[in-house]
Amino acid sequence: MGASAMNRMNPAGGPTTGFRHEVLLHSSREQLLAGVVPYVREALDRDETVLMVVSGDSADLLRAAIGPDAARLDWADSAGWYRRLGPMFEDFRSYLAEQSARGQPSRVVAEQGISAPSTTWLREYLSFESMTNIVYAPYRIPVLCLWDRNRVAPDIADRVTAAHPYLLEGNQTVVNARFLDPVDFLGRARHPELAAPQHVEFTVRLQDAGDLGAARLRLHEHAVRNGFPAERASELVIAANEITTNALEHGRHPVWLAVWRTGEYLVCECSDGGSGFADPTVGFRRPERPTGRGCGLWLARQLADLVQIRSRRSGSQIRLSFALPTVSGRSSG
Amino acid sequence: MGGTPQPVGPAGPSGRGSFAGHVLALLTPWQERVSLMSSWVREGLARGERVACVHHDGEGGDAGASLLDAVAPRVDGWPAARLRGQVMVVSVRQALSAEGAFDPDSLRTRAHNAIDRALAVGYHGMRVVTIGAPFLEAVPDDGAWLALERDFERMCRELPLSVLCQYHDGAGGLVRRAAAGLHRRIVESLIEITVEGAVVRVRGEVDISNYALLESAVGSACGNAETHVDLDLTELQFMDASGLRALTSGTADFRHRSGRVILRNPGPAVARVLRLLRVDVLPGVELRQAGSA
């Protein structure tokens, strides 16, 4: 598996060809510095632009270690990262596309910046991480991801490793034998079951497209009743409509919509008896035209705070989560 | 979609300033068909028109009941109107011809005669409500059906004639595809579309259940247009990706020939999707909000 994955990602062999997407899973400051400082120096020696999207703490550490040359790097606070993964992925892709178009050699050092991410959120984040191997590859801009091993559970650390074709060990970039190609990474067998809700607030059964209008109305009303401002409620309806439409068109009737609250989210789940998407990489990239495949799912990823997909032979579920407005009226996160 | 979305179709608030002309209704639910027909008849009575209800036995929802049996009680003054001849009930068989066969010339002549007679006795015009399916079945081919609908479209524009054609929603591809070019207004469960030359007005919601109507309407407008098509989205509450596909593909050839498509006044929910999918920056497409030039 590892060998064939390696071949798929890196046909010409060697870390300097293909998309140099590597991860440094560090468990100490020393390891962090031992990996990042030479990486940055290499870039500076080659007159590359370096974007450092790291936490404030890491920035302090790295600036001190790099010295005066740190001023030549572009620093951005990773706390500015969005909780909403779809737009973040797309905006970052857009940045890479711009840099690539300019022709200025660059590289990026990135550290996930959301504070206290839930395991659920991390898992979905890592789905995007894996998809960068496909979506960001054409831009050929090296990306080094920094993860603190002390801050993630072992199973998440394994997923982090599996999402990257290269590892930074010490100050050496090496091919990752445990890398999983995105299709494998995102594939059926690799996700835990979605936790069943404690209390479903309502369900809608859809037999055909004619049932969508009434479903939208109910969803909108429910969102507004849960404190969502009109515009956000509309976004919820748009996202839910798209995934439900997919199920009606490609899944098995009847299609079910279930809605409930958790502490943090209003959740809308669409399920049907079909086997779901054959290709798990669908919906991560903006389609070329509105006729593009995966358009509805892409829209859902842009609008929902979290999108979880489970496709099994016995049935499929797509769960959209929308952060509940806080008391002050802003959405949390 | 701010506030409570208003249902459209017969149940919705009417802004039907001109609930007249050649209208196509694609409705399936029994209640909606009854409701629309009742509104149509009431409108005719209010305008002092003679109303001809073309009915078809047994085509109704419940066993044996016809739509007219359900409509009559919903129209105030129906019995009196029937007695004095303002409301006429005609069977499809009579409408088609004595033998029930399709004869378009005869149909046109009888329509003209009916209008003349109505005007002669003091009515302001003639209004017809009919089920489309029997005509669809009676015509020898699609071309004949299209020609018939085109005739009635012209008559409704030139004469004091209004015709509501009701097709069961499952009437099929031909009706949906050709609909917009042949009817000034299309009424369906979720959407109402009016096409006047190169201007299209859309009211309601577009999704996979009805996007084909939008595609047909914009295609028709593109055919009527010289330099640009005006798509008024002021009252469009919702549009999904399939609606956007209909918009882009329905106008593709026109835009390719340097035609411009103006998307006027989309609400926040519609604008959001337009922008996310970058339809607003497609060649030939222009988004215009109220208050801008």
Segment B109-129, tens digit of pLDDT: 889 999 999 999 999 999 999
Measured CA to CA, the distance from residue A46 to residue A39 in angstroms comes to 11
Nearest Cα to A280, choosing from A311, A306, A301?
A: A311
Least CB–CB distance from A238: residue in B5, B189, B269: B269
Return the SS3 of B211. helix
Q: What is the pLDDT of residue A257?
A: 97
pLDDT class for B91, splitting at 50, 70, 90?
confident
Which residues from chain B sit within 8 angstroms of residue A241, using beta carbons?
Answer: 207, 238, 240
Which residues from chain B sit within 8 angstroms of residue A289, using beta carbons?
Answer: 248
From first to last of the 333 residues of chain A, give the pLDDT tens digit: 344 444 334 333 334 457 999 999 999 999 999 999 999 999 999 999 999 999 999 999 999 999 999 999 999 888 777 778 999 999 899 999 999 999 989 999 999 888 888 888 999 999 999 999 999 999 999 999 999 999 999 999 999 999 999 999 999 999 999 999 999 999 866 778 888 898 999 999 998 888 999 999 999 999 999 999 999 999 999 999 999 999 999 888 899 999 999 999 999 999 999 888 788 888 998 887 766 678 999 999 999 999 999 988 888 999 999 999 986 544 444
The answer to whether B208 contacts A209, with C-beta atoms less than 8 Å apart, is yes
Least CB–CB distance from A296: residue in B3, B169, B241: B241
The tens digit of pLDDT for each residue in B133-183 reads: 777 777 778 888 888 888 888 899 899 999 998 887 656 667 766 666 677
CA A180 to chain centre: 16
Measured CA to CA, the distance from residue B139 to residue B104 in angstroms comes to 9
Continuous segment of H or E residues that includes residue B62: none
Give this prediction's pTM: 0.80
Peptide bond into B73 cis (omega under 30): no
Least CB–CB distance from B5: residue in A217, A242, A302: A217
Which residues from chain A sit within 8 angstroms of residue B32, using beta carbons?
Answer: none
Return the SS3 of B141. coil
Q: Which two tokens stand for residue A238?
A: 């748009």
Q: What is the pLDDT of residue B133?
A: 74
pLDDT cut 90: percent of chain B above it:
44
Q: What is the pLDDT of residue A4?
A: 41
Measured CA to CA, the distance from residue B217 to residue B234 in angstroms comes to 16
- The dihedrals phi and psi of A322, each to the nearest 5 degrees, come to -125, 125
Q: What is the pLDDT of residue B171?
A: 60
Which residues from chain B sit within 8 angstroms of residue A209, using beta carbons?
Answer: 207-209
The answer to whether A210 contacts B28, with C-beta atoms less than 8 Å apart, is yes
pLDDT class for B13, splitting at 50, 70, 90?
very low
Q: Is B91 exposed, middle or buried (0-12, 13-18, 19+ CB in 10 A)?
A: middle
Chain B interface, Cβ < 8 Å to A = 1-5, 7, 28, 169, 189-190, 205, 207-209, 238, 240-242, 244-245, 248-249, 268-269, 272-273, 276-279
- A216, A246, A250, A288: which to substitute to probe chain B, counting the most B Cβ within 10 Å? A216
CA A284 to chain centre: 9
Return the SS3 of B98. coil
pLDDT class for B35, splitting at 50, 70, 90?
confident
Nearest-by-CA chain A residue for B170? A210
Looking at the complex, report in whole angstroms how far the Cα of residue A207 sits from the nearest Cα belonging to chain B: 12
- A242, A286, A289, A297: which to substitute to probe chain B, counting the most B Cβ within 10 Å? A289
Nearest Cα to B87, choosing from B109, B59, B119, B118?
A: B118
The string over A288-304, giving b where at least 16 C-beta atoms fall within 10 Å of a residue's C-beta and e elsewhere, is eebebebbbbbbbbbbb
**Which position has the higher pLDDT, B95 or B283?**
B283
Contact by Cβ (8 Å): B37, B168: no
- B168, B176, B218, B240: which to substitute to probe chain A, counting the most A Cβ within 10 Å? B240
Least CB–CB distance from B207: residue in A245, A291, A302: A245
Work out whether the CA dihedral A166, A168, A171, A172 comes out positive or negative.
negative
Least CB–CB distance from A291: residue in B4, B245, B273: B245
Is pLDDT of B240 > 80?
A: yes
Whether ipTM > 0.90 holds is no
Least CB–CB distance from A245: residue in B2, B240, B279: B240
Q: Looking at this protein, which amino acid is placed at residue A2? A: G
The answer to whether A291 contacts B28, with C-beta atoms less than 8 Å apart, is no
What's B209's DSSP letter?
A: T
Chains A, B: CB contacts under 8 A, how many? 84
User: Whole-number mean pLDDT of chain B?
Assistant: 83
Least CB–CB distance from A241: residue in B4, B207, B272: B207
Nearest-by-CA chain B residue for A248? B208
SS (H, E, C) chain A: CHHHHHHHHCCCCCCCCCCCEEEEEECCHHHHHHHHHHHHHHHHHCCCEEEEEECHHHHHHHHHHHHHHHHHCEEEEHHHCCCCHHHHHHHHHHHHHHHHHHCCCEEEEEECCCCCCCHHHHHHHHHHHHHHHHHCHHHCCCEEEEEEHHHCCHHHHHHHHHCCCEEEECCEEEECCCCCCHHHHCCHHHCCCCCCCCCCCEEEEECCHHHHHHHHHHHHHHHHHCCCCHHHHHHHHHHHHHHHHHHHHHCCCCEEEEEEECCCEEEEEEEECCCCCCCCCCCCCCCCCCCCCCHHHHHHHHHCCEEEEEEECCEEEEEEEEECECCCCCECC
Least CB–CB distance from B208: residue in A237, A249, A290: A249
Nearest Cα to A171, choosing from A30, A51, A265, A302?
A: A30
pLDDT class for B34, splitting at 50, 70, 90?
confident
Which residues from chain B sit within 8 angstroms of residue A237, using beta carbons?
Answer: 1, 238, 269
The answer to whether B1 contacts A234, with C-beta atoms less than 8 Å apart, is yes
What's B96's DSSP letter?
A: H
Looking at the complex, report in whole angstroms how far the Cα of residue A235 sits from the nearest Cα belonging to chain B: 7
- Pinpoint the alpha helices (H) of chain B: 30-46, 67-71, 78-83, 92-96, 104-120, 133-138, 142-158, 173-182, 211-224, 241-256, 268-276
The answer to whether B248 contacts A289, with C-beta atoms less than 8 Å apart, is yes
